[in-house]
Structure 1
Amino acid sequence: MSRFRIERTVALPPAEVWRRITDWPAHGARIPFTSTTVLTPDPSGVGTRFTARTGLGRRLGFDDPMEVVRFEPPGSGPGTGVCGIVKLGRAVRGSAVFEVYEVPGGSGGPAASRVVWTEELRLRGVPGWCDPVLAAVGRRLFARALDGLLGN
């Protein structure tokens, strides 16, 4: 299984960072040739299901269905927000975890946030010896998506 981790610190409050990284359609808009469809009425909680469709048209591509299995937004005080996702597809399996930490501002300035995105990914038909390459590509692709979501 390919594993990678992305970390960013941004000058945004944790609640705003949380809102941005749990906006599932926005993820699809940030990844080339991908669109995301939320399949459940409430798009923000445990049990939320969505599918990322990557490809060119309906014939050349694959679906990446996912479900939120943990959804703990950051509180009003210091703390951590955690969102866990499992990938349920035939072509893509694995999990992702988003963590949002409050970073105190210096000299009484506004707080910032630290985001940690950890992903474990397995693509059907790709041998395990390709995991380092898959991790490098995933890290680069999802880092661009995260930067776009955060407005970096």
Structure 2
Amino acid sequence: MAFTIRRASDLPREAAWDAVTDLRAHTAHVPLTDVEVPDGGLVLGAEVNAVTRLGPVAGSDRMLVTALEPGRRLRLVKTGWFLRGWADITVDDDPAGSRVTWTEEIWLPGLRRQTRPVGDRLGPLLFGKVVEGLVAGAERRRGGS
């Protein structure tokens, strides 16, 4: 099972895409976490790393770009030792502007059956704030909703 977050916006599709795929900007919406994107940006095969730190303890969420349709779809597969899963982010045209759909599954390696339901419950709380923050921020900057 996966969780899905949907967010409609009056932003044009390209602007919504730019907002939700600015992975470095996710840092502002995920406490204690810095997202590192390679210098070449989001390209097929690129590795993104989200590092969460609490004092001396740190965890790394490594993700590989496995599908990319610029302006439309990004798929990240979690490849790290701490988290596994995937995220599929799409942005579609909508009569009012655009629609962001973020679908994801997360689990701990070796404990998929036990931990995926926890990810399904907690994921919308965390990633819903990320999607809302990114899209709302882009709307404010543009003077939209």
With normalisation by structure 1, the TM-score equals: 0.82
Letter in 1 for 2:129: R
Match of 2:129 among 141, 144, 152: 144
Tell me, what secondary structure is at the counterpart of 1:151? Answer: helix
List runs of 5+ in structure 2 lacking aligned partners.
138-145
Moved over 2 A (4+): 124-134
Match of 1:45 among 43, 46, 49: 43
Letter in 2 for 1:101: D
Tell me, what secondary structure is at the counterpart of 2:11? Answer: coil
Verify the 8 A CA contact 1:86 1:94 in the aligned structure 2: yes
The structure with the larger Rg is 1
2:115 and 2:62 mapped to 1: Cα distance? Answer: 23
CA RMSD of aligned residues (A): 1.8
2:47 and 2:10 mapped to 1: Cα distance? Answer: 30
Q: How many pairs were matched up? A: 137
The CA deviation string for residues 66-106 of structure 1, in whole angstroms up to 9 with x for no partner, is 111111123xxxxxx1111111100001111001110124x
The CA deviation string for residues 5-49 of structure 1, in whole angstroms up to 9 with x for no partner, is 1111011000011111111111122111111111x2211321222
Tell me, what secondary structure is at the counterpart of 1:118? Answer: strand
List runs of 5+ in structure 1 lacking aligned partners.
75-80, 106-111
Match of 1:119 among 99, 104, 110: 104
Match of 1:61 among 58, 63, 88: 58
With normalisation by structure 2, the TM-score equals: 0.85
